[in-house]
Amino acid sequence: MVDLRKVTAALVIIGNEVLSGRTRDANLQYLGENLNALGIRLMEVRVIPDVEDTIVDAVNTLRARFDYVFTTGGIGPTHDDITSASIAKAFGVEVVRDPEAERLVRSNYATPEDVTTARLKMADVPAGSALLNNPVSKSPGFRVENVYVLPGVPRIMQAMFECFRHELLGGEPFKSREITAFVPEGEIGGPLGEIQERFPDADVGSYPFVREGRFGAALVVRHPEQTVVDAAAEAIHDMIRNLGAEPVEE
Amino acid sequence: MVDLRKVTAALVIIGNEVLSGRTRDANLQYLGENLNALGIRLMEVRVIPDVEDTIVDAVNTLRARFDYVFTTGGIGPTHDDITSASIAKAFGVEVVRDPEAERLVRSNYATPEDVTTARLKMADVPAGSALLNNPVSKSPGFRVENVYVLPGVPRIMQAMFECFRHELLGGEPFKSREITAFVPEGEIGGPLGEIQERFPDADVGSYPFVREGRFGAALVVRHPEQTVVDAAAEAIHDMIRNLGAEPVEE
């Protein structure tokens, strides 16, 4: 496996509900796909509980290691929303009430009575944060240096990401082709390894599946240059036919 | 948030395809739920690429920190399946061909010609491993000390887990109740924090959602004792009614 990373990112998913299996995370797949489309490689994801020291440790480790860090979860108004305080601690800064964030939070409610103490907590961010626009429910996310702090609700997280995605500096977007065949991985292993050797700087992956009781594999080639992807994909087509099966590509 | 962990676990999901968003992981939710049912708390999950040093580092960090570590992915027959070699390196042992594993791999194929070199790679495990039974496709997983090495295909991973789950030493299983209401989290925040304070050793979580254009939250209480869970759940019912909404519990 060749290391193709250029611009890199990590994701920290904060939430006991994901660890307990209660909630199935949807943010990893969305961010993986969308960062990939920008040429940013998601290199590591951590799912961690709502525990301050754990959040601080994960964020500080990952922000030193990768170009971007995204966090999801824990920025709502309840007692278990401790992400803002934890990010502030990670950067060694205070939590402050941001006037613009307060204006945004207040603008989401019809009457002053609706703006509860709990809701105003969503205007508290680490000192020095840049706010991230939330077109769904107003309460902003925020960015501190290379760390983007986003909500856990997928619909809001995605809307927020769409607002700042143009600011992210991607590497070279990857081209890819995916070829599927009902050939067990065990027959593919040898010849596919040879294809990887012929195209050493391409990322050649094999992802087995069981479908309708039959074993098969999806073979994926990724590389910044379309010509390299095409050459490796053709070699995979030939390999599958040589194994007596039919390559399928959508 | 009170730290209720007793017997703990971590999960390492190995696979570029999950990081790129190509494949949506299903193993985290399955293991989170099933470990939880055994009284084992899943405390951290890492999703990492097929890179040996990264696998070694994650496994060595997590196996020192938690009672159990599970890994999924990367034990198939293709060139990008490097988990066995990486686990061996993490433990400082050699990779050896296990005779029983070889017998199992061979037993899955009708003729000796089908037993390719690539397939026999699935009989190579770290020295000192205990094999884990695979009722679906024979090729075993393995355990080294407290690290359980499982395949990435959910159906096979789950079948394997079912075979050894009785060997896992759980803590005290948690009781839980979940109450849903169409009340925005911002109105819940204050009174729910008070309920958490009244039941300091219960795990009281609030998980917001947007459904049919309306904001709501699922409120979950978890504790080893049913009486504590029930008392806190009743307090949540009262809180929701006081806010003018209807608590829903299935």
Query: Does a structural domain hold residue B247?
Result: no
Same domain, B27 and B139: yes
Query: Does a structural domain hold residue A248?
Result: no
Domain final residue pick, A132, A167, A202? A167
Same domain, A26 and A50: yes
Same domain, B43 and B112: yes
Same domain, B77 and B124: yes
Which pLDDT tens digits describe chain A residue by residue (250 residues)? Answer: 344 448 999 999 999 989 999 889 999 999 999 998 898 999 999 999 999 999 999 999 999 999 999 999 999 888 889 999 999 999 999 999 999 999 999 988 888 888 888 899 999 999 999 999 999 888 999 999 999 999 999 999 999 999 999 999 887 777 889 999 999 888 898 899 999 999 998 989 888 888 887 889 999 998 888 999 999 999 999 999 999 999 999 8
Same domain, B137 and B228: no
Evaluate if residue B104 carries a pLDDT over 80: yes
Query: Does a structural domain hold residue A145?
Result: yes
pLDDT of residue B51: 94
Beta strands in A78-172 (DSSP E): 95-97, 124-126, 130-132, 141-144, 147-150
pLDDT of residue B71: 98
Among A16, A46, A80, beta carbon nearest to B46: A46
- Nearest 10 degrees: CA dihedral of A101, A107, A113, A116? -30
Would the pTM of this model clear 0.95, i.e. be above it? no
Same domain, A30 and A68: yes
Same domain, A189 and A206: yes
Q: Judge: B45–A43 Cβ closer than 8 Å, yes or no.
A: no
Evaluate if residue B3 carries a pLDDT over 60: no
Query: Does a structural domain hold residue A249?
Result: no
Domain final residue pick, B143, B167, B191? B167
Reading the block at residue B112, the tokens are 């000796």
Reading the block at residue A198, the tokens are 């012929």
Residues A4-24: tens digit of each pLDDT: 448 999 999 999 989 999 889
Residues 203-232 of A with CB under 8 A from B: 203-210, 215, 217, 220, 222
Phi/psi of residue B63, nearest 5 degrees: -70, -25
Q: Which of B5, B185, B223 to substitute to test the interface with A, most A CBs within 10 Å?
A: B185
Same domain, A223 and A152: no
Here the ipTM equals 0.85
Query: Does a structural domain hold residue B226?
Result: yes
Query: Does a structural domain hold residue A1?
Result: no
Among B15, B45, B189, beta carbon nearest to A116: B189
Q: Judge: B188–A78 Cβ closer than 8 Å, yes or no.
A: yes
Evaluate if residue B112 carries a pLDDT over 90: no
Query: Does a structural domain hold residue B134?
Result: yes
Evaluate if residue B163 carries a pLDDT over 80: yes
- Nearest in space to B32 (alpha carbons), one of A51, A45, A18, A47: A18
Domain containing residue B49: CATH number: 3.40.980.10
Beta strands in A74-199 (DSSP E): 95-97, 124-126, 130-132, 141-144, 147-150, 175-181
Same domain, B35 and B66: yes
Query: Min CA distance, A119 vs chain B (Å)?
Result: 5
Residues B166-210: tens digit of each pLDDT: 999 887 777 889 999 999 888 898 899 999 999 998 989 888 888
Which positions in chain A touch B34 (Cβ < 8 Å)?
Answer: 21
pLDDT of residue B4: 46
Domain final residue pick, A114, A137, A167? A167
Same domain, B80 and B161: yes
Query: Min CA distance, A130 vs chain B (Å)?
Result: 23
Same domain, A156 and A205: no
Domain containing residue A200: CATH number: 3.30.1370.10
Q: Give the count of domains, chain B.
A: 2
Identify the weakest region by mean pLDDT among A92-101, A170-179, B115-124, B139-148: A170-179
Query: Does a structural domain hold residue A42?
Result: yes
Same domain, B140 and B182: no
pLDDT band at residue B128 under the 50/70/90 scheme: very high
Residue B210 lies in domain: 175-242
